A = this chain, B = another copy of it.
Amino acid sequence: MTPAIPRLSSHLDETDVDGYLVDAAGDDSTQYYLSGYHAPDEFVTLYADGAVAVLVSPLEYTRAKTDSDADDVRNYAEFGYREKAARMDPRRAQKLVTVEFLADYGVESVAVPVSFPTGTADLLREHGVAVTADFDYVVADEVRAVKSDRELEHVRQTQQANEVALAEVEGLLERASVADGVLHLDGDVLTSERVRRRIERTLLEEDCAMDQCIVASGPSAARAHDSGSGPLEADVPIVVDVFPRHKETRYFGDVTRTFVKGEPTDQVEEWYDRTVEAYEAALDAIEAGVSGAAVNDAVCDVFEDAGYPTLRTHDSPEDGFFHSTGHGVGLDVHEAPYLAENAGDLEAGHVVTVEPGLYEQGTGGVRLEDLVVVTEDGYENLTDYPRDLRVV
Protein backbone atom coordinates (compact mmCIF):
# COMPACT_ATOMS: atom_id res chain seq x y z
CA MET A 1 0.00 0.00 0.00
CA THR A 2 1.30 3.42 -0.92
CA PRO A 3 0.93 6.33 1.48
CA ALA A 4 -1.18 9.22 0.20
CA ILE A 5 0.83 12.00 -1.45
CA PRO A 6 -0.37 15.28 0.08
CA ARG A 7 1.11 17.51 -2.64
CA LEU A 8 -0.52 15.53 -5.38
CA SER A 9 -3.87 15.32 -3.58
CA SER A 10 -3.96 19.05 -2.99
CA HIS A 11 -2.99 19.77 -6.61
CA LEU A 12 -5.89 17.62 -7.78
CA ASP A 13 -8.22 19.41 -5.36
CA GLU A 14 -7.04 22.84 -6.47
CA THR A 15 -7.40 22.06 -10.16
CA ASP A 16 -10.69 20.24 -9.51
CA VAL A 17 -9.86 16.95 -11.20
CA ASP A 18 -10.68 13.49 -9.88
CA GLY A 19 -7.40 11.68 -10.42
CA TYR A 20 -3.88 11.56 -11.81
CA LEU A 21 -3.44 8.96 -14.53
CA VAL A 22 -0.30 7.37 -15.99
CA ASP A 23 -0.31 5.06 -19.01
CA ALA A 24 3.25 4.24 -19.85
CA ALA A 25 5.91 1.66 -20.53
CA GLY A 26 6.60 -0.66 -17.63
CA ASP A 27 9.89 1.10 -16.90
CA ASP A 28 8.45 4.64 -16.70
CA SER A 29 9.78 6.40 -13.62
CA THR A 30 6.62 8.25 -12.59
CA GLN A 31 4.63 5.07 -12.91
CA TYR A 32 7.21 3.24 -10.78
CA TYR A 33 7.23 6.04 -8.24
CA LEU A 34 3.45 5.91 -7.80
CA SER A 35 2.92 2.15 -8.04
CA GLY A 36 6.19 0.62 -6.88
CA TYR A 37 5.81 -1.65 -9.88
CA HIS A 38 8.17 -2.26 -12.76
CA ALA A 39 7.27 -4.49 -15.69
CA PRO A 40 8.45 -5.34 -19.19
CA ASP A 41 5.18 -4.12 -20.73
CA GLU A 42 2.90 -1.11 -20.56
CA PHE A 43 0.46 -0.70 -17.72
CA VAL A 44 -1.77 1.97 -16.19
CA THR A 45 -1.63 3.67 -12.78
CA LEU A 46 -4.37 5.81 -11.23
CA TYR A 47 -3.94 8.02 -8.18
CA ALA A 48 -7.34 9.10 -6.84
CA ASP A 49 -8.76 9.76 -3.37
CA GLY A 50 -5.30 9.28 -1.89
CA ALA A 51 -4.98 5.69 -3.13
CA VAL A 52 -3.22 4.00 -6.03
CA ALA A 53 -4.75 1.46 -8.42
CA VAL A 54 -2.89 -0.26 -11.24
CA LEU A 55 -4.41 -1.85 -14.32
CA VAL A 56 -2.28 -4.63 -15.81
CA SER A 57 -2.52 -7.37 -18.39
CA PRO A 58 -3.56 -10.85 -17.28
CA LEU A 59 0.07 -11.83 -17.76
CA GLU A 60 1.24 -9.34 -15.13
CA TYR A 61 -1.64 -9.84 -12.72
CA THR A 62 -0.18 -12.54 -10.46
CA ARG A 63 3.12 -10.74 -10.02
CA ALA A 64 1.61 -7.25 -9.69
CA LYS A 65 -0.54 -8.42 -6.79
CA THR A 66 2.51 -9.41 -4.77
CA ASP A 67 5.17 -7.02 -6.07
CA SER A 68 3.45 -3.66 -6.46
CA ASP A 69 2.74 -1.13 -3.72
CA ALA A 70 -0.68 -0.34 -5.20
CA ASP A 71 -3.76 -0.43 -3.00
CA ASP A 72 -5.65 -2.10 -5.84
CA VAL A 73 -4.48 -4.32 -8.71
CA ARG A 74 -6.96 -4.70 -11.56
CA ASN A 75 -6.80 -6.83 -14.67
CA TYR A 76 -7.82 -6.10 -18.29
CA ALA A 77 -9.87 -9.29 -18.15
CA GLU A 78 -12.25 -7.70 -15.62
CA PHE A 79 -13.21 -5.06 -18.15
CA GLY A 80 -14.15 -7.17 -21.15
CA TYR A 81 -10.75 -7.00 -22.80
CA ARG A 82 -11.10 -10.25 -24.72
CA GLU A 83 -14.41 -9.29 -26.26
CA LYS A 84 -13.00 -5.90 -27.26
CA ALA A 85 -9.78 -7.36 -28.66
CA ALA A 86 -11.81 -9.63 -30.91
CA ARG A 87 -13.38 -6.53 -32.50
CA MET A 88 -10.34 -4.24 -32.80
CA ASP A 89 -6.58 -4.02 -32.54
CA PRO A 90 -5.67 -5.40 -29.08
CA ARG A 91 -3.59 -2.30 -28.34
CA ARG A 92 -6.63 -0.11 -28.94
CA ALA A 93 -8.70 -2.52 -26.84
CA GLN A 94 -6.21 -2.01 -23.98
CA LYS A 95 -6.77 1.72 -24.14
CA LEU A 96 -10.54 1.27 -24.14
CA VAL A 97 -10.29 -0.91 -21.05
CA THR A 98 -8.80 2.13 -19.34
CA VAL A 99 -12.07 4.00 -19.95
CA GLU A 100 -14.02 1.37 -18.00
CA PHE A 101 -11.34 1.15 -15.31
CA LEU A 102 -11.74 4.89 -14.66
CA ALA A 103 -15.53 4.63 -14.65
CA ASP A 104 -15.26 1.88 -12.03
CA TYR A 105 -13.54 4.38 -9.73
CA GLY A 106 -16.02 7.15 -10.57
CA VAL A 107 -13.21 9.18 -12.14
CA GLU A 108 -14.53 11.61 -14.77
CA SER A 109 -11.53 13.94 -15.07
CA VAL A 110 -7.81 13.30 -14.90
CA ALA A 111 -4.57 15.20 -14.91
CA VAL A 112 -1.90 13.35 -16.86
CA PRO A 113 1.85 13.79 -17.38
CA VAL A 114 2.74 15.89 -20.42
CA SER A 115 4.17 12.65 -21.85
CA PHE A 116 0.85 10.78 -21.51
CA PRO A 117 -0.08 8.95 -24.75
CA THR A 118 -2.14 11.06 -27.15
CA GLY A 119 -3.91 7.91 -28.32
CA THR A 120 -5.19 7.19 -24.83
CA ALA A 121 -6.07 10.84 -24.17
CA ASP A 122 -8.10 11.04 -27.39
CA LEU A 123 -10.02 7.83 -26.60
CA LEU A 124 -10.74 8.95 -23.04
CA ARG A 125 -11.99 12.31 -24.31
CA GLU A 126 -14.22 10.58 -26.89
CA HIS A 127 -15.74 8.73 -23.96
CA GLY A 128 -16.39 11.86 -21.93
CA VAL A 129 -13.37 11.84 -19.62
CA ALA A 130 -11.73 15.27 -19.26
CA VAL A 131 -7.97 14.96 -19.75
CA THR A 132 -5.55 17.77 -18.88
CA ALA A 133 -1.84 17.57 -19.59
CA ASP A 134 -0.18 18.76 -16.40
CA PHE A 135 2.13 21.54 -17.54
CA ASP A 136 2.67 22.34 -13.85
CA TYR A 137 4.69 19.10 -13.75
CA VAL A 138 3.37 18.52 -10.24
CA VAL A 139 4.61 14.95 -9.87
CA ALA A 140 8.02 15.65 -11.40
CA ASP A 141 8.69 19.03 -9.79
CA GLU A 142 6.84 18.92 -6.49
CA VAL A 143 6.57 15.26 -5.60
CA ARG A 144 9.40 13.24 -7.13
CA ALA A 145 11.98 16.03 -6.90
CA VAL A 146 11.88 16.06 -3.09
CA LYS A 147 13.54 12.88 -1.91
CA SER A 148 12.65 10.94 1.22
CA ASP A 149 15.39 9.63 3.48
CA ARG A 150 14.99 6.23 1.90
CA GLU A 151 15.39 7.68 -1.59
CA LEU A 152 18.48 9.60 -0.47
CA GLU A 153 19.96 6.32 0.73
CA HIS A 154 19.31 4.84 -2.69
CA VAL A 155 21.00 7.73 -4.52
CA ARG A 156 23.91 7.65 -2.08
CA GLN A 157 24.37 3.94 -2.68
CA THR A 158 24.56 4.40 -6.46
CA GLN A 159 26.91 7.33 -6.05
CA GLN A 160 29.20 5.17 -3.90
CA ALA A 161 29.28 2.62 -6.70
CA ASN A 162 30.35 5.49 -8.97
CA GLU A 163 33.23 6.26 -6.65
CA VAL A 164 34.39 2.65 -6.82
CA ALA A 165 34.29 2.91 -10.61
CA LEU A 166 36.24 6.19 -10.63
CA ALA A 167 38.91 4.67 -8.40
CA GLU A 168 39.16 1.78 -10.81
CA VAL A 169 39.64 4.19 -13.72
CA GLU A 170 42.22 6.23 -11.87
CA GLY A 171 44.08 3.01 -11.06
CA LEU A 172 44.19 2.10 -14.73
CA LEU A 173 45.51 5.55 -15.62
CA GLU A 174 48.14 5.39 -12.87
CA ARG A 175 49.37 2.01 -14.06
CA ALA A 176 49.36 3.05 -17.72
CA SER A 177 52.57 3.94 -19.50
CA VAL A 178 52.94 6.41 -22.34
CA ALA A 179 54.34 5.63 -25.78
CA ASP A 180 54.01 7.92 -28.80
CA GLY A 181 51.68 10.15 -26.79
CA VAL A 182 49.18 7.34 -26.21
CA LEU A 183 48.39 5.38 -23.03
CA HIS A 184 49.27 1.70 -22.86
CA LEU A 185 48.43 -0.89 -20.22
CA ASP A 186 49.32 -4.57 -19.93
CA GLY A 187 50.78 -4.64 -23.42
CA ASP A 188 47.81 -3.00 -25.19
CA VAL A 189 46.70 0.50 -26.06
CA LEU A 190 44.35 1.88 -23.42
CA THR A 191 41.19 3.00 -25.24
CA SER A 192 37.97 4.71 -24.21
CA GLU A 193 36.16 1.47 -24.96
CA ARG A 194 38.45 -0.57 -22.71
CA VAL A 195 38.06 1.82 -19.79
CA ARG A 196 34.30 1.97 -20.35
CA ARG A 197 34.04 -1.79 -20.21
CA ARG A 198 36.04 -1.83 -16.98
CA ILE A 199 33.69 0.76 -15.52
CA GLU A 200 30.68 -1.29 -16.53
CA ARG A 201 32.10 -4.46 -15.04
CA THR A 202 32.91 -2.66 -11.81
CA LEU A 203 29.43 -1.17 -11.62
CA LEU A 204 27.91 -4.58 -12.23
CA GLU A 205 29.69 -5.91 -9.15
CA GLU A 206 28.03 -3.04 -7.28
CA ASP A 207 24.60 -4.06 -8.65
CA CYS A 208 24.46 -1.07 -10.97
CA ALA A 209 23.85 -0.98 -14.71
CA MET A 210 24.83 1.75 -17.11
CA ASP A 211 23.40 2.39 -20.54
CA GLN A 212 26.15 4.75 -21.60
CA CYS A 213 29.08 6.50 -19.95
CA ILE A 214 31.63 9.00 -21.15
CA VAL A 215 35.37 8.36 -21.30
CA ALA A 216 36.48 11.04 -23.73
CA SER A 217 39.86 12.57 -24.41
CA GLY A 218 40.87 15.15 -27.00
CA PRO A 219 38.22 16.84 -29.17
CA SER A 220 35.50 14.34 -28.26
CA ALA A 221 35.55 15.69 -24.69
CA ALA A 222 34.19 18.96 -26.08
CA ARG A 223 31.22 17.35 -27.80
CA ALA A 224 28.31 17.10 -25.36
CA HIS A 225 27.24 13.50 -24.75
CA ASP A 226 30.02 12.13 -26.96
CA SER A 227 31.01 8.85 -25.29
CA GLY A 228 34.57 8.95 -26.60
CA SER A 229 36.38 6.31 -28.63
CA GLY A 230 39.84 5.09 -29.51
CA PRO A 231 43.20 5.47 -27.75
CA LEU A 232 43.44 7.74 -24.71
CA GLU A 233 46.08 10.40 -25.08
CA ALA A 234 48.69 11.57 -22.60
CA ASP A 235 48.95 15.22 -21.49
CA VAL A 236 45.33 16.03 -22.47
CA PRO A 237 42.20 15.94 -20.32
CA ILE A 238 40.19 12.72 -20.15
CA VAL A 239 36.61 13.41 -19.09
CA VAL A 240 35.01 10.49 -17.23
CA ASP A 241 31.26 10.95 -16.65
CA VAL A 242 29.42 7.99 -15.11
CA PHE A 243 25.66 7.84 -14.48
CA PRO A 244 24.46 4.32 -13.74
CA ARG A 245 21.20 3.09 -12.22
CA HIS A 246 21.04 0.69 -9.33
CA LYS A 247 19.38 -2.45 -10.58
CA GLU A 248 17.32 -3.06 -7.45
CA THR A 249 16.36 0.42 -6.27
CA ARG A 250 16.32 1.93 -9.81
CA TYR A 251 17.87 5.19 -8.53
CA PHE A 252 20.66 6.83 -10.50
CA GLY A 253 23.94 8.41 -9.48
CA ASP A 254 26.00 10.84 -11.54
CA VAL A 255 29.62 11.93 -11.25
CA THR A 256 32.32 13.41 -13.46
CA ARG A 257 36.04 13.72 -12.99
CA THR A 258 38.65 14.95 -15.46
CA PHE A 259 42.08 13.34 -15.45
CA VAL A 260 45.31 14.21 -17.23
CA LYS A 261 47.95 11.50 -17.43
CA GLY A 262 51.17 13.46 -17.72
CA GLU A 263 51.50 17.23 -18.06
CA PRO A 264 48.44 19.37 -18.74
CA THR A 265 49.00 22.48 -20.85
CA ASP A 266 48.75 25.88 -19.18
CA GLN A 267 45.44 26.36 -20.97
CA VAL A 268 43.98 23.18 -19.51
CA GLU A 269 45.28 24.07 -16.04
CA GLU A 270 43.56 27.43 -16.40
CA TRP A 271 40.29 25.80 -17.56
CA TYR A 272 40.39 23.42 -14.62
CA ASP A 273 41.15 26.13 -12.05
CA ARG A 274 38.21 28.21 -13.32
CA THR A 275 35.98 25.12 -13.28
CA VAL A 276 36.87 24.36 -9.66
CA GLU A 277 36.22 28.01 -8.82
CA ALA A 278 32.82 27.84 -10.54
CA TYR A 279 32.03 24.55 -8.77
CA GLU A 280 32.81 26.13 -5.40
CA ALA A 281 30.72 29.19 -6.26
CA ALA A 282 27.77 26.92 -7.08
CA LEU A 283 28.10 24.97 -3.84
CA ASP A 284 28.39 28.22 -1.86
CA ALA A 285 25.13 29.40 -3.43
CA ILE A 286 23.08 26.24 -2.85
CA GLU A 287 20.52 26.20 -0.07
CA ALA A 288 16.77 25.81 0.25
CA GLY A 289 14.95 28.92 -1.02
CA VAL A 290 17.67 29.91 -3.51
CA SER A 291 16.67 29.51 -7.14
CA GLY A 292 18.35 27.10 -9.50
CA ALA A 293 18.82 30.14 -11.75
CA ALA A 294 20.84 31.91 -9.04
CA VAL A 295 23.14 28.90 -8.64
CA ASN A 296 23.61 28.80 -12.41
CA ASP A 297 24.31 32.54 -12.38
CA ALA A 298 27.07 32.04 -9.81
CA VAL A 299 28.78 29.64 -12.19
CA CYS A 300 28.28 31.85 -15.26
CA ASP A 301 29.67 34.84 -13.34
CA VAL A 302 32.94 33.01 -12.74
CA PHE A 303 33.27 31.90 -16.34
CA GLU A 304 32.21 35.19 -17.90
CA ASP A 305 34.55 37.16 -15.62
CA ALA A 306 37.37 34.99 -16.99
CA GLY A 307 36.28 35.75 -20.56
CA TYR A 308 34.51 32.52 -21.54
CA PRO A 309 31.17 32.36 -23.40
CA THR A 310 28.15 30.95 -21.54
CA LEU A 311 24.50 30.34 -22.39
CA ARG A 312 23.80 33.79 -20.91
CA THR A 313 26.13 35.56 -23.32
CA HIS A 314 25.56 33.45 -26.45
CA ASP A 315 22.48 31.73 -27.86
CA SER A 316 24.19 28.50 -28.73
CA PRO A 317 27.87 28.62 -27.80
CA GLU A 318 30.08 25.76 -28.97
CA ASP A 319 33.02 26.80 -26.77
CA GLY A 320 33.25 27.91 -23.15
CA PHE A 321 30.49 26.77 -20.79
CA PHE A 322 27.84 25.56 -23.23
CA HIS A 323 25.55 23.67 -20.87
CA SER A 324 23.74 24.43 -17.62
CA THR A 325 25.10 23.91 -14.11
CA GLY A 326 23.06 20.90 -13.09
CA HIS A 327 19.91 18.80 -12.97
CA GLY A 328 18.01 16.64 -10.54
CA VAL A 329 18.83 12.95 -10.25
CA GLY A 330 16.55 10.22 -8.94
CA LEU A 331 14.56 7.56 -10.78
CA ASP A 332 15.59 9.44 -13.92
CA VAL A 333 19.11 10.58 -14.59
CA HIS A 334 17.85 13.97 -15.78
CA GLU A 335 14.88 15.22 -13.80
CA ALA A 336 13.69 18.24 -11.80
CA PRO A 337 14.93 20.49 -10.36
CA TYR A 338 17.32 22.28 -12.68
CA LEU A 339 20.29 24.56 -12.07
CA ALA A 340 19.76 26.61 -15.19
CA GLU A 341 18.48 29.89 -16.53
CA ASN A 342 14.93 30.66 -15.33
CA ALA A 343 14.89 27.67 -12.97
CA GLY A 344 12.76 27.87 -9.81
CA ASP A 345 13.57 27.63 -6.12
CA LEU A 346 15.43 24.78 -4.50
CA GLU A 347 13.88 22.88 -1.60
CA ALA A 348 15.41 20.73 1.10
CA GLY A 349 15.53 17.17 -0.24
CA HIS A 350 16.27 18.14 -3.83
CA VAL A 351 19.15 16.12 -5.26
CA VAL A 352 21.13 17.97 -7.93
CA THR A 353 24.31 17.62 -9.89
CA VAL A 354 26.80 20.50 -9.85
CA GLU A 355 28.76 20.16 -13.05
CA PRO A 356 30.51 23.18 -14.48
CA GLY A 357 32.97 22.71 -17.33
CA LEU A 358 34.93 24.52 -20.03
CA TYR A 359 35.39 23.33 -23.57
CA GLU A 360 36.89 24.26 -26.92
CA GLN A 361 35.73 22.52 -30.09
CA GLY A 362 38.61 20.76 -31.81
CA THR A 363 40.74 20.77 -28.66
CA GLY A 364 38.88 19.25 -25.72
CA GLY A 365 37.44 20.16 -22.37
CA VAL A 366 37.25 19.66 -18.64
CA ARG A 367 34.27 19.04 -16.35
CA LEU A 368 33.83 18.43 -12.64
CA GLU A 369 30.58 17.01 -11.27
CA ASP A 370 29.37 16.14 -7.80
CA LEU A 371 25.91 15.13 -6.65
CA VAL A 372 24.53 16.97 -3.61
CA VAL A 373 21.33 17.08 -1.60
CA VAL A 374 19.92 20.52 -0.79
CA THR A 375 19.37 21.24 2.93
CA GLU A 376 17.68 24.11 4.77
CA ASP A 377 20.98 25.94 5.24
CA GLY A 378 23.16 24.60 2.45
CA TYR A 379 23.83 21.16 1.04
CA GLU A 380 25.28 17.80 1.82
CA ASN A 381 27.65 16.38 -0.75
CA LEU A 382 26.71 12.80 -1.68
CA THR A 383 30.04 12.48 -3.48
CA ASP A 384 33.34 11.84 -1.76
CA TYR A 385 36.02 11.57 -4.39
CA PRO A 386 39.23 13.61 -4.83
CA ARG A 387 39.23 16.32 -7.48
CA ASP A 388 42.84 16.17 -8.61
CA LEU A 389 43.37 16.78 -12.29
CA ARG A 390 46.75 15.12 -12.64
CA VAL A 391 47.28 11.40 -12.45
CA VAL A 392 50.86 10.49 -11.70
- By a beta-carbon cutoff of 8 Å, the part of chain A in contact with chain B is 27, 39-41, 58-63, 66, 75, 77, 82, 85-86, 89-92, 95, 112-122, 131, 133-135, 137, 197, 200-201, 204, 209, 211-212, 223-226, 311, 315-316, 318, 322-323, 333-334, 338, 340-343, 361
Contacts and interface: CB of A to CB of B under 8 A. Distances in A.
Contacts of A343: 90
A240 to B, nearest CB: 16
Contacts of A197: 204
Contacts of A323: 59
A102 to B, nearest CB: 15
Contacts of A116: 117-119
Q: How many copies does the complex hold?
A: 2
Contacts of A318: 62
B60 A224 contact: yes
A133 B333 CA distance: 29
B225 A63 contact: yes
A137 B89 contact: yes
Interface centre among A27, A59, A90, A316 (most CB of B within 10 A): A316
Given A85-B341, A90-B340, A224 B63 contact: yes
Contact of A209 (B91, B211, B342): B211
Contacts of A115: 117-119
A212 to B, nearest CB: 7
Given A209-B211, A316-B61, A119 B133 contact: yes
Contacts of A39: 225
B59 A224 contact: yes
Top 6 A-B residue pairs of the complex, sorted by shortest distance between their CB atoms: A114-B119, A119-B133, A77-B316, A118-B121, A58-B316, A116-B118
A315 B82 contact: yes
A25 to B, nearest CB: 8
Nearest to A59: B224
11 contacts: A40-B334, A62-B318, A63-B225, A77-B316, A90-B341, A114-B120, A115-B118, A115-B119, A117-B118, A118-B121, A119-B135
A209 B343 CA distance: 35
A216 B116 CA distance: 34
A131 B118 contact: yes
Contacts of A315: 58, 77, 82
Contacts of A120: 114, 118
Given A118-B117, A211-B209, A223 B63 contact: yes
A340 B91 CA distance: 12
A343 to B, nearest CB: 8
Contacts of A27: 211
B225 A40 contact: yes
A73 to B, nearest CB: 12
A368 B47 CA distance: 38
Interface centre among A211, A323, A340 (most CB of B within 10 A): A211
Contacts of A135: 89, 91-92, 119
A77 B315 CA distance: 6
Contacts of A63: 223-226
A91 B92 CA distance: 29
Contacts of A341: 82, 85-86, 90
Given A58-B322, A63-B226, 19 more contacts: A39-B225, A40-B225, A59-B224, A59-B322, A59-B323, A60-B225, A66-B223, A85-B341, A85-B342, A86-B341, A95-B114, A112-B118, A114-B117, A114-B118, A117-B133, A119-B133, A119-B135, A122-B133, A201-B204
